[in-house]
Amino acid sequence: MSVARFRQLAASQPEHELFRFSLAQALLREGRAAEALPHLEFCAARKPDWMVVRILLGQALCQLGRQTEARPWLEAALTLAVAQRHEEPERELRTRLAVMGSARP
């Protein structure tokens, strides 16, 4: 679906985190990271254990050159990846954090 369609859905039910998440993903696909941030932040606040939202928040902030702000989101995503036993995201997050200079032991 298009950004326009997800924007319409999110506007019709602004408290529906899945509509907001889908809108954020569509915006990111179009390279509109700044516009995606409030929707991802909303989702993160609603679901503290939603790993992929934290990954996307970190990635979006990195795209905007805001690595310092991205680091805590990526570290939180790594903690969730380990706790939830998501091995592939764990590897990817460890690599990304190492490149950023903040690898965890």
User: In this predicted model, what pLDDT tens digit does every residue of 54-77 receive, in sequence order?
Assistant: 999 999 999 999 999 999 999 999
pLDDT score recorded for residue 105: 39
pLDDT score recorded for residue 84: 97
Instruction: List pLDDT tens digits, range 32-55.
Output: 999 999 999 999 999 999 999 999
Instruction: List pLDDT tens digits, range 6-29.
Output: 999 999 999 999 999 999 999 999
Instruction: Give the chain's end-to-end CA distance (angstroms, integer).
Output: 40
Sequence-distant contacts of 52-59: CB under 8 A, at least 24 apart: 52/77, 52/89, 53/21, 54/80, 55/89, 55/93, 56/24, 56/25, 56/28, 58/96, 59/28, 59/33
More confident residue, 94 or 101: 94
pLDDT score recorded for residue 101: 84
More confident residue, 105 or 66: 66
Spell out where the chain has E strands: none
For tokens 């995606």, the residue is: 36
| pTM score of the predicted model | 0.91
Task: Provide the 3-class DSSP secondary structure of residue 62.
Answer: helix
- At the fourth CATH level, which superfamily is domain 3-100? Tetratricopeptide repeat domain (1.25.40.10)
